[in-house]
């Protein structure tokens, strides 16, 4: 009866992680964060996704428990980034895109662990990835492993930070979703999730909604194209 807390942003990666957790654990809860992100429509997308999952997958619905949304808007107030301000997306002098929000994943996982502690959940599932990513240092495997040690020491627990996407690319993420829930899950992720940094919900593409020009849309589009190419072979 192990339980898991899944960090659910409303995007493709976290949706796939949720399906991954639902296929493995008996009790699942979800957590999202309002951190003053300019793409706030992702918070609406996550609710639509949860509703769709409960309707389409009754077996999963039985294990899908409460959803939690935490107010971390203080992070947005202290961050001068393209995800928390209306700035053009560029590469900084440090070599990172200005979509990097310093401390974001560290805070997310720390607050998730605090909630998991109270809810009696051992596993904390996150969609961070070191294969298809923008070089964010808080997405690296070494960072996650170090944070797991810190959280376990600081809370005297044995949390497991699960990162099922850490070593796979976006095309393989689509394939993982297909293995977990078939074409129905792939279509649900395609239409219900939102990865766009600009939060564009008006434009629908073959790979899903988004502006089609930001780095997140570009990565998602290329991954979907590669996935479809292998399906059609």
The pLDDT score that the predictor gives to residue 1 is 65
Output the CA–CA distances (angstroms, integers) from residue 6 to 39, 71, 91, 207, in the order listed.
20, 17, 30, 23
The per-residue pLDDT for range 60-117, each reduced to its tens digit, is 999 999 999 999 999 888 888 877 777 887 877 777 777 788 889 999 999 999 999 9
CATH number corresponding to 3-231: 3.40.50.620
Residue 99: its pLDDT value, please?
Answer: 79
Which of 61, 53, 60 is CA-nearest to residue 15?
53
State which H helix or E strand residue 4 sits in: strand 3-7
Instruction: Please count the residues of the chain.
Output: 233
User: For position 57, what pLDDT does the model report?
Assistant: 97
Query: Rounded distance, CA 233 to CA 226, Å?
Result: 11
Closest-CA residue to 193 (of 89, 67, 51, 95): 51
Under 8 Å CB-to-CB from 215, ≥6 apart: which residues? 89, 97, 99, 134, 197
- In the chain, domain spans: 3-231
Task: Please give the Cα distance from 87 to 50 (Å, whole number).
Answer: 31
Structure tokens at 42: 């992702």
pLDDT at 28 over 80: yes
In tens, the pLDDT along 178-189 reads 999 999 999 999
Question: For the whole model, what pTM was predicted?
Answer: 0.94
Q: Is the pLDDT of residue 233 over 70?
A: no
User: Do residues 97 and 89 lie in contact, with contact meaning Cβ atoms separated by under 8 Å?
Assistant: yes
Q: Give the C-alpha distances (Å, rounded to integers) separating 223 from 27, 151, 175, 228.
A: 30, 33, 10, 9
Query: What's the average model confidence in pLDDT over 218-224?
Result: 96
pLDDT digits (tens, 9 = 90+) for 134-162: 788 999 999 999 999 999 999 999 999 99
Q: Which residues pair with 30 in a beta bridge?
A: 6, 67
List Cα–Cα distances, 35 to 43, 75, 111, 137, 230, in angstroms.
10, 6, 13, 19, 37
What was the pLDDT predicted at 88?
Answer: 81
The reported pLDDT for the residue numbered 85 is: 79
Query: Residue 29 has what pLDDT?
Result: 98
Q: Which of 128, 121, 158, 165 is nearest to 19 (CA)?
A: 165
Strands 123-125 and 204-205: unpaired
User: Percent of the chain having pLDDT more than 90?
Assistant: 79
């Amino acid at each position: 009866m192990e339980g898991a807390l899944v960090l659910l942003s409303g995007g493709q990666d976290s949706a796939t992680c949720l399906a991954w957790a639902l296929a493995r654990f008996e009790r699942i809860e979800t957590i999202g964060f309002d951190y003053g992100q300019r793409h706030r429509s992702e918070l609406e997308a996550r609710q639509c996704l949860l509703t769709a999952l409960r309707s389409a997958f009754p077996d999963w619905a039985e294990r899908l428990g409460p959803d939690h949304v935490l107010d971390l808007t203080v992070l947005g107030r202290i961050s001068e980034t393209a995800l928390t301000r209306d700035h053009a997306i560029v590469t900084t002098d440090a070599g990172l895109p200005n979509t990097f929000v310093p401390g974001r994943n560290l805070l997310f996982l720390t607050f998730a662990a605090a909630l998991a502690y109270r809810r009696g959940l051992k596993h904390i599932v996150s969609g961070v990835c070191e294969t298809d990513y923008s070089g964010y240092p808080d997405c690296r495997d070494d960072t996650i492993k170090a944070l797991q040690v810190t959280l376990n020491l600081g809370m005297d627990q044995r949390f497991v930070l699960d990162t099922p996407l850490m070593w796979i690319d976006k095309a393989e993420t689509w394939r993982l979703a297909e293995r977990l829930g078939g074409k129905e899950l792939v279509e649900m992720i395609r239409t219900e999730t939102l990865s766009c940094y600009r939060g564009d919900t008006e434009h629908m593409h073959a790979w899903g909604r988004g502006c089609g020009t930001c780095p997140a849309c570009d990565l998602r589009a290329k991954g979907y194209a590669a996935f479809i190419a292998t399906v059609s072979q």
